[in-house]
Chains A and B, each alone.
Chain A
Amino acid sequence: MAPTVVAADRIVEALTAAGVGARPAGPVDEVDGVAAAAVAVVRDTFTTAAAVRVAAQHRLTVVARGTGTKSTWGAPPDRVDLVLDTSRMADVVDHAAGDLVLHVQAGIRLDAVQRALADAGQRLAIDPALAESALGPGTVGGTIATAAAGPLRLSHGAVRDLLIGITFVRADGTIAKAGGKVVKNVAGYDLAKLLAGSWGTLGVITEAVFRLHPAPRASRWLISESLDPHSLDRAIQAVVQSQVVPAALEIDRTPDGEGSVALLLEGFEDGIGARVEQGLALMPAGSVDLKPPSWWGRLPGNAASTLLKLTSEIAALPALLAAVDSCGAPATVRGSAGVGVMHAAVDGDAATIVDVVRSLRSRSAQWGGDVVVLDAPRDVKAAVDVWGPVRGLALMRRLKDEFDPGHRLAPGRFVGGI
């Protein structure tokens, strides 16, 4: 698609006429280095549909944005005519506390969600790992769109597993719903799962319904530090194969190969003591804390590093870590050891990163996972295949063609140029 500059005032005019708040875009509205023409501020499903209909009429490309914490993730979009700012679409629609179900608008921030649930002693068990620089977590919509997860995934599953209903706006402006407000429901296709991790390329998510869990009455972190690779792996395996039922099991590994492992136990005050004893027996020189270690739930690296998402079979984690150690660049690795998802921050110039990614992908069969470049400086992204090989890509293209035949929703952002 040829780069174009669209007359922002004409777009703003069309949106305003449709009753949607809009303004010309500025430099802060760039999406991963791609300048936007205009910004529409949507307030609910209906204004989002109105904005998307205007975009459809004028064949504008559309990128949804919450707080923008992940706007540099994935591949940059080919073109951004219209940014849909969802951050004002931030209401709790319904909290059915007795049913442990929450219905929210997609632009609400996750920390606002947790605050709204605290009084009822409940939580949404989604704690996406944040960049060191992030001031707060992103929105519900962005978390769903990127399928971002964090430590609690081990015990509560990924976003897809907690999302029980979804409302979204299709590329043509049609409003569609799937799922519902009850946890147990097998009526119709589970479009919520399709939208989760679709990176804004199939529809604009406007509302979500989640299954909630009781907030833990007691939490303890068990931490072992300064472990060599062998001891780290032994500790992980001991916990994974045990019956202590960890809420989370995270590791943090420095470029020199030294690692820490932290185990989170959640439960009730009068039962957790015994479980802590059990847990400590599995961890070399472990200590107990009421707070998480500083690196907990934080992505490694900084704006200059390349952030990789590395998945693996659980027991093949040592093979993955060994490959990272010998990849030719210093890397810090953190992630959910009991799940098989790691994030690595690699430092190096574009040429180095290209080699690192190639090296890891060529060996990834050893650990049975994928190597994705989640975030990176622009010159790095321009030089690498961000998403790497994909199984079932032909089916994914067909889905994209059905949902967005004009390829106007976040074009180029996702796998295979989708």
Chain B
Amino acid sequence: MTTTSRRERAGASPSAITALAARLRARLGTDAVIDDHQRLRTYECDGLAHYKVTPALVVLPVDADGVAASVQACAELGVPFVARGSGTGLSGGALPHAEGVLIVTSRMRDIVEIDPADQRAVVQPGAINLQLTKAATPFGYYYAPDPSSQQVCSIGGNFAENSGGAHCLKYGFTTNHVTGAEVVTPDGERVRIGGKAPDPTGYDLLGVLVGSEGTLGIATEITVRLTRLPECVRTLLAGFPSTDEAGAATSSIIGAGVVPAAIEMMDALAIEAAEAAVQCGYPAGAGAVLIVELDGPSADVERQFEQVEAFCREHEAFEIRIAADDAERALFWRGRKSAFAAVGRISPDYIVQDGVIPRTALSQVLRRIAEVAAQHGIRVANVFHAGDGNLHPLVLFDDRDPGAADRAEAVSGAIIDLCIEHGGSITGEHGVGADKAKYMPRMFGEDDLDTMQMVRCAFDPAGLSNPGKVFPTPRLCGEVPGRRSADDAVHPLQRAGIAEVF
């Protein structure tokens, strides 16, 4: 393949799109294909609204056959395609391709099976995360990964992005909970991998598919692990003078061998925003709040909860509230889970950042973030999963203020650099998508990225599946030096006379 042919593949001509639309209408039905410009604009962005691209075509298949037919058609005509679930992603992973097809799974929302005996559920990709937990709860189970968008986000999107959530500190991410999938590969083939049993024989294809951000294929059915509801859940909310004390309390808790279900922190500005938005009634005057949740067998939880409380007091918590019931627990969480949207109350525009640092570097990094923000005259509200060092700085600005957007972008980028400098990651759960592909070379070397793209070449040699995401530059596939040839049949040492054949 030459560079020229790749460039030609990067988008489709209007006539190819017209042909594709006609073909998919015939195959999927008229209502499943959208090419009206106004209606296409509904899909121009995902949860990261400042990136906007109108797709050339949107298809809404109702089943795996429809997804496969759509992908096959794209593959045959060399048209790029992007999969989209609920469109809640925060890295532009489902940002459409202007000359490509957006394959939307929102009509594939079924929970196919809840199987408590095997501790599994089977769902269609458009199934909503929280709906799955609701369907499993009557059986004494739930689906553990709980991104803040769980009321609307789809399991297919979670699969693509390897979504986490507040409780992944203890329970892991999507990748730890997927045991099987049916996937449409970028050439349009339907492949089933794994199922309800663990360890499907062969390479761990699910391991690379989950979190590949739609660049290796589209999941059309997903089998996930269900987790037994805990016997006991205890949640406390503690107010601290500053993030330093809250961070120290977190370190003490983890250092004592406690593995909480979640430890979440918010700083003063984030608290202010949450108060303005949802009136969560957090301790007045707090420089930081911690929400700590423990779950598990009652005997253990009660004992560890006392420890957690003691650590909070030891680190100068001036107020500790313990949720008396589910309603109060929900109130604690409401402030935290609404934090991103809530900053809209205190700032007309904002960037949600997502970076990871080693937890022990928390105080140091927060100080540096404050310095950088001050230098640029920008306010930053901090919300984070303190237990695993996943920061969500909210960079606040007013787009009407000339240059403010650029300064906010500079602060946001500097935060990512701080994460890398401390040995962390450029994204803990939002994904690389369109937004952070440019940062990938700061975290990984050229050889590392090249190696990752070898996986891309194995799955999608034509580069049609969500092109332009994750990697800053595409790798040309099929030009691997030393590719196996007929020549290899003869051992080179043998040819050189070093070895002989018996």
* Chain A residues proximal to chain B, CB less than 8 Å: 1-7, 10, 56, 58-60, 81, 96, 98-101, 121, 147, 157-158, 160-161, 170, 172, 174-178, 180-194, 196-198, 202, 213-215, 217, 237, 240-245, 267-268, 270-275, 278, 309, 311-316, 339-341, 367-370, 372, 387-396, 398-399, 401-403, 405-407, 414-416
Contact = CB atoms under 8 A, between A and B. Distances in A.
A368 B198 CA distance: 10
Contact of B447 (A175, A183, A213): A175
Interface of B: 115-120, 140, 161-162, 164, 168, 172-173, 175-176, 185, 191-208, 210-212, 228-231, 251, 254-259, 296-300, 302-304, 356-360, 385, 388-390, 423-432, 436, 440, 443-445, 447-452, 454-459, 470, 480-484, 488-489, 491-494, 498-502
Contacts of B454: 399, 402-403
B425 A178 contact: no
B201 A245 contact: no
Nearest to A168: B451
A153 to B, nearest CB: 8
A305 B388 CA distance: 45
B482 A396 contact: no
Given A4-B499, A177-B444, A184 B428 contact: yes
Contacts of B488: 59, 406-407
Nearest to A199: B203
A243 to B, nearest CB: 4
A186 B429 contact: yes
Quick one: which of A274, A275, A313 has the most chain B CB within 10 A?
A313
Given A10-B498, A182-B425, A312-B197, A271 B207 contact: no
Contacts of B297: 243-245, 267, 271, 274-275, 278
Contact of B493 (A6, A316, A392): A6
A172 B483 CA distance: 11
A314 B117 contact: yes
Nearest to B453: A189
Nearest 3 CB-CB pairings of A with B: A193-B207, A214-B257, A315-B117
Contacts of B251: 98
A170 B480 CA distance: 13
B158 to A, nearest CB: 11
A186 B196 CA distance: 24
B299 A186 contact: no
A184 B175 CA distance: 12
A180 B425 contact: yes
B360 A96 contact: yes
A215 B455 CA distance: 36
A7 B499 contact: yes
Contact of A396 (B185, B203, B228, B426): B203
A164 B231 CA distance: 30
B236 to A, nearest CB: 18
A196 B193 CA distance: 16
A103 to B, nearest CB: 10
7 contacts: A158-B199, A160-B204, A268-B303, A314-B117, A340-B197, A340-B198, A341-B198
A98 B359 contact: yes
A96 B120 CA distance: 35
A184 B192 contact: no
Nearest to A397: B458
Given A182-B423, A241-B228, A390 B202 contact: yes
B443 A370 contact: no
Given A98-B251, A391-B202, A407-B484, 5 more contacts: A186-B173, A190-B175, A241-B228, A275-B299, A392-B205
A182 B447 CA distance: 21
Contacts of A217: 257
A338 to B, nearest CB: 9
Contact of A314 (B119, B173, B430): B119
Given A6-B493, A157-B176, A388 B451 contact: no
Nearest to A157: B176
Quick one: which of B300, B444, B456, B492 has the most chain A CB within 10 A?
B300
Contacts of B302: 271
B360 A275 contact: no
Contacts of B303: 268, 270-271
Nearest to A101: B358
A281 B144 CA distance: 27
A59 B491 contact: yes
Contacts of B483: 401, 405
Contacts of A313: 118, 120, 195-197
A368 B120 CA distance: 13
A5 B500 contact: yes
B147 to A, nearest CB: 12
Given A58-B493, A177-B444, A405-B482, A372 B452 contact: no
A59 B493 CA distance: 8
Contacts of A368: 195-197
B198 A3 contact: no
B195 A182 contact: no
Given A215-B257, A272-B299, A187 B432 contact: yes
A186 B93 CA distance: 12
Contacts of A81: 493
Contact of B484 (A7, A367, A405): A405
Nearest to A61: B491
A106 B212 CA distance: 26
A183 B388 contact: yes
A190 B210 contact: yes
Contact of A184 (B298, B299, B389, B440): B389
Given A157-B176, A186-B431, A244-B297, A100 B254 contact: yes
Contact of A401 (B256, B304, B484, B489): B484
A261 B362 CA distance: 44
A193 B207 CA distance: 5
A219 to B, nearest CB: 13
Quick one: which of A58, A215, A309 has the most chain B CB within 10 A?
A58
Nearest to A369: B197
A303 to B, nearest CB: 24
A372 B484 CA distance: 29
A176 B451 contact: yes
Contact of A271 (B173, B300, B451): B300
A396 B168 contact: no
A312 B199 CA distance: 9
A240 B488 CA distance: 52
B118 A186 contact: no
B492 A271 contact: no
Contacts of B256: 214
